[in-house]
Amino acid sequence: MPASTAPQVPPQNVQTDDIQTETPDPAAPARTRGADTRALTQVLFGRLKGLEPGTTEHHRVRTALIEANLPLVRYAAARFRSRNEPMEDVVQVGTIGLINAIDRFDPERGVQFPTFAMPTVVGEIKRYFRDNVRTVHVPRRLHELWVQVTGATEDLTTAHGRSPTTGEIAERLKISEDEVLACIEAGRSYHATSLEAAQEGDGLPGLLDRLGYEDPALAGVEHRDLVRHLLVQLPEREQRILLLRYYNNLTQSQISAELGVSQMHVSRLLARSFARLRSANRIEA
Instruction: Report how far apart, in Å, the C-alpha atoms of 22 and of each of 36, 49, 67, 72, 215 are.
Output: 10, 20, 9, 16, 61
* Residue 8: C-alpha distances to residues 3, 29, 63, 105 (Å): 10, 28, 9, 20
DSSP output for 19-43: -B--PPPTTS-HHHHHHHHHHHHHH
Q: How far apart are CA 19 and CA 22, in angstroms?
A: 10
Residue 133 phi/psi, 5-degree rounding, is -95, 145
Q: Is the pLDDT reported for residue 27 higher than 80?
A: no
Whole-model pTM: value is: 0.41
Report pLDDT digits (tens) over 198-225.
Answer: 554 455 555 455 555 556 666 666 666 6
Contact 67, 21 (CB under 8 A): yes
Q: Are 94 and 63 in contact (CB under 8 A)?
A: no
Look over the chain and give the mean of its residue pLDDT values, rounded to a whole number: 76
Domains of the chain: 3-132 (1.20.120.1810), 140-192 (1.10.10.10), 221-284 (1.10.10.10)
For 218-242, the pLDDT digits (tens) are: 666 666 666 677 777 788 888 888 8
The better pLDDT of the pair 226, 9 is held by 226
Q: What is the mean pLDDT of residues 146-154?
A: 84
